Amino acid sequence: MAVVEHTVVVSPQFHEFHPDLMAPIALGLDGWVGVKTDEFMDRSPYAKVGQAIRGAAVIPVWLTAPMADSVMRTMELGNALTHHEQGYDARAEELVYVLPFAEGRSDKITQVRRDVKPDESDMWPVLATLDGDRWMVAGETIYAEMFADMIAHVAKASKLLLFEPHSALVHRYFVKNFNEKFGNGDSRVLTLSAVPLFADWLRVNDKVDENTVVLAPDIGALSRAGYLAQILGVPLVICDKWRPKHNSAQVSLKYGNVCGKRVIGVDDIIDTAGTIIDGARVIREEEGASELYVFSTSAKFSGPAISRLDEALRTGLINEVVVTDNLPTANKGKILGSMGFKIIPIADLLLRGIKTLLDPEATFDTYGIRPYLFTNETSLEAYHRLQRQFSLPPL
């Protein structure tokens, strides 16, 4: 078997899953090594790395449904790249896992909320998140915590690159596990933000002036929305969102004025787009905003998302939808047309992040990633920090 002694991307999903993102990264490193994946008749998994690797292996992981498949493939690669057999010593020196998408539903630390009375539903005991932006049910799995533990300890990761995780707690779960394993988790986990990319796009396209405001669609989005408002130097407005059930939400304006304003809404995920459309109607039709631009890190575009966005763009309810290409499903949005839908590529930013992790002499300025560092704040922490600057009311 040939041996690769440089830094390469190792992935069974390179060509078929997301070549738009991974091809530029592989070209910026030393190439790509494929992985053969298969199943036995009883559906037991099989994986074999195409070449032995003595250098660093960069392994992209999409933490998406079906979750079990993502987790299993990741564990397989970690084992295949690091185990030692007699007469075969070509273990990778470093495994750098790259998570362009790290949502991890049920990713919050929880505490019992004692002012809620029990009812006949399965919502008792109700748990409130320390983030303050999502209810949880007793007994729910915290997938981000579980996956962080598996990446660090089972998948043999030595370093990790995260891109705009769903919450700061996702980042903290990984740092905690890398601290347990190496003692220096903060230097081994690098988390980058999409918010400065959004700010750059808005400035280049002349969307920032005295009439512009940034909207947090709920308290959970306050950290990234507040960060964008600070970068642009514009006011912050906040909506309140309540979810009576999964993939459903009720939206109202909680703080600020949007009447006659150009509103920049920023969140991390577009799933079915139902919440976005409901929020758009509140902001445009009830509150009188003149324009609405929707920014999202991750375009999952599940179910009716495309048809909903298409109607909103055609009717002028939403002026433009802007997403990154961290998920391949972002390409579904191209059917919406170039006038209403834009994709911001992130391959160059991820490549610079990988090089920063691999270069022992690098600082955050060596490859220009300092402006893109994740703020690592929970929603509650962000609220307290932004309260004085934007004169936010008490929670």
Q: How do residues 195-244 score in pLDDT, each as one tens digit?
A: 999 999 999 999 999 999 999 998 888 899 999 999 999 999 998 876 55
Tell me whether residue 362 is in a domain.
no
Tell me whether residue 355 is in a domain.
no
The CA distances from residue 395 to 62, 94, 130, 292, in Å, are 35, 45, 13, 26
Cα gap 30→49, rounded to integer Å:
16
Cα gap 11→32, rounded to integer Å:
8
Q: 117 and 243: one domain?
A: no
Q: 238 and 382: one domain?
A: yes
Closest CA to 261 of 197, 322, 207, 202: 207
Q: How are strands ordered across the β-sheet holding 135-137?
A: 110-112, 126-129, 135-137
What pTM was computed for the model?
0.87
Answer positive or negative: Cα dihedral of 155, 157, 161, 164: positive
3-state secondary structure of 321: strand
Domain boundary among 175, 192, 209: 192
Cα gap 309→393, rounded to integer Å:
32
Tell me whether residue 58 is in a domain.
yes
Tell me whether residue 357 is in a domain.
no
Report CA dihedral (348, 188, 170, 57) to the nearest 10 degrees. Answer: 60
Q: 285 and 340: one domain?
A: yes
Alpha-carbon Rg for the chain in angstroms: 22
3-state secondary structure of 157: coil
Tell me whether residue 353 is in a domain.
no
Q: 204 and 93: one domain?
A: no
Residue-number span of the structural domain to which 239 is assigned:
195-344+376-390
Q: 293 and 200: one domain?
A: yes
Q: 206 and 180: one domain?
A: no
What digits encode the pLDDT tens for the residues 22-37? 889 999 998 888 888 8
Tell me whether residue 55 is in a domain.
yes
First to last CA, the chain: 61
Q: Are 313 and 286 in contact (CB under 8 A)?
A: no
Q: Domain of 156: which CATH number?
A: 3.40.50.2020
Cα gap 39→206, rounded to integer Å:
52
Q: 123 and 184: one domain?
A: no
What pLDDT sits at residue 131? 35
Q: 274 and 302: one domain?
A: yes
B/e letters for 152-175, b = 16+ CB within 10 Å, e = fewer, are: beebbbbbbbbbbbbbbbbbbbbb
Q: 230 and 333: one domain?
A: yes
Q: 251 and 121: one domain?
A: no
Q: 53 and 123: one domain?
A: no
pLDDT one digit per residue (tens) for the chain, 395 residues? 566 567 888 876 544 568 888 889 999 998 888 888 888 899 888 888 878 787 888 988 876 656 677 778 888 888 888 876 665 555 788 999 999 987 655 444 433 333 444 443 433 333 333 333 344 566 777 778 888 999 999 999 999 999 999 888 889 999 999 999 999 888 999 999 999 999 999 999 999 999 999 999 988 888 999 999 999 999 999 988 765 555 556 778 889 999 999 999 999 999 999 989 999 999 999 999 999 999 999 999 999 999 999 999 999 999 999 999 999 889 889 888 878 999 999 999 999 999 999 999 999 999 999 999 998 888 788 888 888 888 887 76
Cα gap 187→358, rounded to integer Å:
11
Closest CA to 182 of 216, 202, 157, 145: 157
Tell me whether residue 358 is in a domain.
no
Q: 173 and 33: one domain?
A: yes
What pLDDT sits at residue 116? 42
Tell me whether residue 351 is in a domain.
no
Q: What positions carry a catalytic annotation?
A: 241
Per 3-state DSSP, the chain is made up of helix, strand and coil in percentages (nearest 5) of 35, 25, 35
Total structural domains within the chain: 3
